[in-house]
Amino acid sequence: MNQNTTESSGAVETLADVPEHVLKGLPEEVRLFPSAVDKTRLGVWATKSILKGKKFGPFLGDKKKRSQVKSNVYMWEVYYPNLGWMCVDATDPKKGNWLRYVNWARSGKEQNLFPLEINRTIYYKTLKPIEPGQELLVWYNGEDNAEIAAALEEERAQHRSKRHSPKARKDQVEDPAGSSSHLGPFRNLMGKKKPRRVKTKERGQQIQSRTRLI
């Protein structure tokens, strides 16, 4: 069974713990500093202004079955039609990239990023402009937020138009298996299927439950 092991181990994460490839991969607008939401962790902080609608990613990690994942803190679950729910797990810093260090927002007010799944790959998109000195904080609240609903709809529209572009049509003929665009679980949460409420022990304890897709 999956455990949401968000409790701190007591050890304080420092820059010395961050693999070189993570530091090198940081976009120019952000840097890692101690987090404001969890004193034991690093967080991602803006050092330059970031516009609303900026997409970061993909979120990198090991692809695993849910049963192989020991902690929820650094993983996203993604639905594959043939495999079911799989996880991209960045628990091991060597397997992740800088998005691993983006912490969970404690409230909707604090949230400035939301996750987006495209072709079973997770990206983070800014929900509002982020100013220098602000920490980047992600949360998943899908259809509860009209702005996210609109941003996801916009993303879907872009994908629909890409899929129907002359180039995409040509690619589909040349590579029918690999080229189709797909917006995954996060999209479905917004759509027809009714989300199931799953109780989780969320860090910060302000979020008692989260919706997730089945």
Kindly list the residues in this chain that would bind ligand SAM in the complex (CB under 6 A): 4, 6, 72-77, 103-104, 138, 140, 185, 200, 203, 210, 212
Judged by CB, which is closer to ligand SAM: 74, or 123? 74
Please, what is the Cα angle at 192 between 188 and 194, to 5 degrees? 85
Instruction: For the CB of residue 59, give the shortest distance to ligand SAM in the complex, in Å.
Output: 7
- Separation CA 43–CA 134 (nearest Å): 10
Instruction: For the CB of residue 167, give the shortest distance to ligand SAM in the complex, in Å.
Output: 30
Instruction: For the CB of residue 173, give the shortest distance to ligand SAM in the complex, in Å.
Output: 32
Judged by CB, which is closer to ligand SAM: 50, or 91? 91
Instruction: For the CB of residue 111, give the shortest distance to ligand SAM in the complex, in Å.
Output: 11
Give, rounded to a whole angstrom, the gap between the first and last alpha carbons of the chain: 16
Strands 62-65 and 55-56: unpaired
Sequence-separated (6 or more) residues with CB below 8 Å from residue 32 = 15, 18, 22, 23, 26, 42, 43, 44, 45, 98, 101
Judged by CB, which is closer to ligand SAM: 79, or 179? 79
Instruction: For the CB of residue 100, give the shortest distance to ligand SAM in the complex, in Å.
Output: 7
Instruction: For the CB of residue 161, give the shortest distance to ligand SAM in the complex, in Å.
Output: 26
Question: Are 213 and 192 contacting, i.e. CB atoms less than 8 angstroms apart?
Answer: no
Tokens linked to 161:
């138009």
Judged by CB, which is closer to ligand SAM: 29, or 89? 89
Q: How far is CA 137 from CA 31, 59, 125, 192, in A?
A: 13, 14, 11, 28
Judged by CB, which is closer to ligand SAM: 50, or 88? 88
Residue 42 β-bridge partners? 34
Place of tokens 């008692």: 208
Judged by CB, which is closer to ligand SAM: 98, or 140? 140
Sequence-separated (6 or more) residues with CB below 8 Å from residue 158 = none
